[in-house]
């Protein structure tokens, strides 16, 4: 029987300060960090994703950041598989890595597993995206009702990204995504206590507004111009990311920069609220607390794992 993988997860909504806390803890105990963020994976998107800086990555080893070139798309299952490899490697070196981020679905994929769904064929995804640009999301949803009625029932008619994903899986594998998801994944056991960093709502709202302004001053709009120049389909996750999406609307001439900033701040706050809700409901055994309390608790957990 193989030994369970060992890691500690420090999660929380965007802007709570979990990355800074993880840096302090990692330096204190000589640990490493595995980024659990669906946007920090992509190279060249540094400012708007609040990616760890090169200086921080020199101080503490980071994994699963800057590991994907556009137009490639990462999935939760892909992230979880690669995270397990890094955790095992770090464990073999005598380290317990800290999983840090706000993408709860990725953590769930790691700890609970997903079915081994085959990779979507790029040409099929491209064809369906082209079809979407002609007939729209509602018609794609009707197509899904014929091919995978169970998944179509679960998804809202305007959920373009997930509808495209379900159709792509069906066309690539000949099997409905709902059937793939029912297959239990055989995953390695993992010992991974979860800690969630909480920040008072009013304080977090102000932090998110201030951070948006700091990111703009650092060149976020130019970064978004670069993203726009990649000519990715609107359904690509990076094109729909909060903040980027509103700045893209400005670059496309749909709104003023002032309105794009206001809408971006509002969207970021709503996203943070959804993250808080996720961690409250999906990680019920997690330890919640402020930065001071969790710093001691995470260090204690890492010490016990050693």
DSSP string, 260-285: HHHHHHHHHHHHHHHHHHHHHHH-TT
Q: What pLDDT shows up at residue 184?
A: 59
Q: What pLDDT shows up at residue 185?
A: 62
* Spatial separation of the C-alpha atoms in residues 10 and 15, rounded to whole Å: 13
Residue 185 · residue 116 · CB < 8 Å: yes
Q: What pLDDT shows up at residue 1?
A: 37
* Spatial separation of the C-alpha atoms in residues 167 and 125, rounded to whole Å: 9
Residue 302 · residue 25 · CB < 8 Å: yes
Domain 122-181 falls under CATH 3.40.50.300: no
Strand order in the sheet with 194-197: 62-63, 33-36, 98-101, 8-12, 194-197, 287-289
Q: What pLDDT shows up at residue 23?
A: 97
Q: What pLDDT shows up at residue 304?
A: 87
Distances (CA, A) of 305 to 35, 60, 96, 97, 201: 19, 19, 7, 10, 32
Give the CA diameter of the chain: 60
Question: Domain residues of the chain, as ranges?
Answer: 5-114+186-305, 122-181
* Spatial separation of the C-alpha atoms in residues 17 and 258, rounded to whole Å: 26
Q: What pLDDT shows up at residue 179?
A: 87
Alpha helices in 136-255 (DSSP H): 137-147, 149-154, 160-173, 177-181, 201-217, 220-229, 244-251
Residues of the chain with pLDDT under 50: 1
* Spatial separation of the C-alpha atoms in residues 272 and 196, rounded to whole Å: 13
Question: CATH code for 5-114+186-305?
Answer: 3.40.50.300
């Amino acid at each position: 029987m193989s030994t369970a993988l060992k890691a500690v997860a420090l999660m929380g909504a965007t802007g709570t300060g979990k990355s800074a806390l993880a840096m302090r803890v990692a330096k204190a105990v000589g640990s490493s960090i595995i980024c659990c963020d669906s946007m920090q994976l992509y190279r060249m998107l540094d400012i708007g994703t609040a990616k760890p800086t090169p200086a921080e990555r020199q101080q503490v080893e980071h994994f699963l950041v800057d590991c994907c070139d556009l137009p490639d798309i990462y999935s939760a299952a892909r992230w979880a598989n690669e995270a397990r490899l890094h955790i095992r490697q770090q464990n073999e070196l005598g380290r317990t890595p800290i999983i840090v981020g706000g993408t709860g679905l990725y953590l769930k994929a790691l700890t609970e597993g997903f079915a081994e769904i085959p990779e979507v064929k790029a040409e099929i995804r491209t064809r369906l995206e082209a079809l979407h640009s002609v007939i729209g999301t509602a018609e794609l949803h009707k197509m899904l009702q014929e091919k995978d009625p169970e998944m179509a029932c679960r998804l809202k008619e305007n959920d373009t990204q997930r509808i495209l994903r379900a159709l792509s899986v069906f066309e690539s594998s000949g099997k409905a995504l709902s059937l793939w998801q029912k297959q239990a994944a055989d995953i390695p056991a993992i010992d991974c206590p979860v800690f969630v960093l909480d920040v008072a709502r009013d304080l977090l709202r102000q932090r998110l507004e201030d951070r948006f302004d700091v990111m703009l001053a650092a060149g976020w709009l130019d970064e978004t111009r670069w993203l726009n120049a990649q000519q990715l389909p609107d359904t690509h996750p990076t094109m729909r990311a909060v903040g980027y999406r509103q700045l893209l609307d400005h670059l496309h001439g749909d709104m003023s920069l002032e309105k794009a900033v206001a809408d971006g701040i509002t969207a970021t706050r709503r996203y943070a609220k959804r993250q808080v809700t996720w961690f409250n409901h999906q990680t019920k055994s997690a330890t919640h607390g402020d930065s001071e309390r969790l710093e001691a608790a995470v260090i204690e957990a890492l010490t016990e794992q050693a």
